[in-house]
Amino acid sequence: MTKLYDAHAHVGTDYFYHKIKNYEEFDFSLKKLLERMKKNGVEKSIVSQCPSIKEITCCASADIKIENKKIVTQCPKCKKILARLNHDPYRDYNIKIAREIEELGVKEKIIPFFIIHLQNPLIREEIDFYKKNYKNFGLKFHTLVSRRSIISIKEKMKGLNIPLLVHTGEETYCHPNELVEFSKSYKGKIIMAHAARLSIDCLKKVNQIKNLFVDVTPLTSFYRRIMDDDFKTILEKKEAFNQIRAPSDVYHFLLKYLDYKKLLFGTDAPWCDKYGLGYGSEVKIFNDLELNSEIKESIAYKNFDKLFN
């Protein structure tokens, strides 16, 4: 069995489904993730805070503005002020993750990707804070929770080469094409989260961009949606998936259109437990894939290593 790295995992509490959709909130600690990794043979993970924190979650994801030198978060629907802060809403959560990594002695296993809100007018100053205080990290941008396109910060990212992980989805501001365009002018490596929403056109475009990679998440969630004829979050016609009969077929679908040197294994923990077949299944499905060793090792860890070289 080849070594395996996870390019997309989360920790912390997420309030999106609790406050907006009235489901139970997610709560997934770094210790729990490390236990899952050990049990399933995952040696290294990219980790970020769950995106819908309480400071920006109400009837909808909050807007951000500067008011009297404070960052103010406000619900766009009910207009409630959620927080007044001296810095980005995510900073304390990011610091907590970095501190836990240090305290648990897992720097070789966990790489933090510090999440920053795309509406933050002081986003470059926030990035400078992490550059000054931390080493061996990346940045995470969640376009859905921020309700902004990654292109909105294009000018502010000039001159940087920090690895990025960027959410993609079916919404206009989350669309994979937005990230394709952004990546053309960014110097660092970028992970396009969520397999370009299985868009054949977008997967083909990624092949032409040297610094852009794609993670497979949420693989088993995609499989379940395809089986249930639920294509709301998939950017491809139903007919494209006629050959999908098992979760492993989603890998073969991706590899049909995407260079294997661009694909990264990931779990999307803890969402894989809620909407997919579970963390262990994500790992087992990959380990059981019948691929030649070069392709399998590239997806498992070699492409991951390229993000930091």
> How far is the C-alpha of 47 from the C-alpha of 165, rounded, in Å?
10
pTM of the model: 0.96
Chain centre distance of CA 252 = 21
Q: Which residues face 73 on adjacent strands?
A: 64, 83
- Provide the residue-wise pLDDT of the chain in tens; the chain has 309 residues: 689 999 999 999 998 876 777 666 678 999 999 999 999 999 999 999 999 999 999 999 999 999 999 999 999 999 999 999 999 999 999 999 999 999 999 999 999 999 999 999 999 999 999 999 999 999 999 999 999 999 999 999 999 999 999 999 999 999 999 999 999 999 999 999 999 999 999 999 999 999 999 999 999 999 999 999 999 999 999 999 999 999 999 999 999 999 999 999 999 999 999 889 999 999 999 999 999 999 999 999 999 999 998
Task: Name the strand (E) or helix (H) holding 1.
Answer: none
Phi, psi of 49 (to 5 degrees): -65, 140
Cβ atoms of 200 and 224 within 8 Å: the answer is no
What is the pLDDT at residue 188?
98
What is the pLDDT at residue 16?
82
What is the pLDDT at residue 26?
73
What is the pLDDT at residue 190?
99
What is the pLDDT at residue 22?
67
Cα-based angle 185, 186, 190 (whole degrees, multiple of 5): 130
* Architecture of the domain made up of 4-56+88-306: Alpha-Beta Barrel (3.20)
Tokens 């809620």: give the residue.
Answer: 274
**HEC profile for the chain?**
CCCEEEEEEEEEEECHHHHHCCCCCEEECHHHHHHHHHHHCEEEEEEEECCCCHHHECCCECEEEEECCEEEEECCCCCCEEEEECCCCCHHHHHHHHHHHHHHCCCCCEEEEEECCCCCCCHHHHHHHHHHHCCCCEEEECHHHHCCCHHHHCHHHCCCCCCEEECCCCCHHHCHHHHHHHHCCCCCCEEEHHHHHHCHHHHHHHCCCCCEEEECCCHHHHHHHHHCCCCCCCCCCHHHHCCCCCCHHHHHHHHHHCCHHHEECCCCECHHHHHCCCHHHHHHHHHCCCCCHHHHHHHHHHHHHHCCC
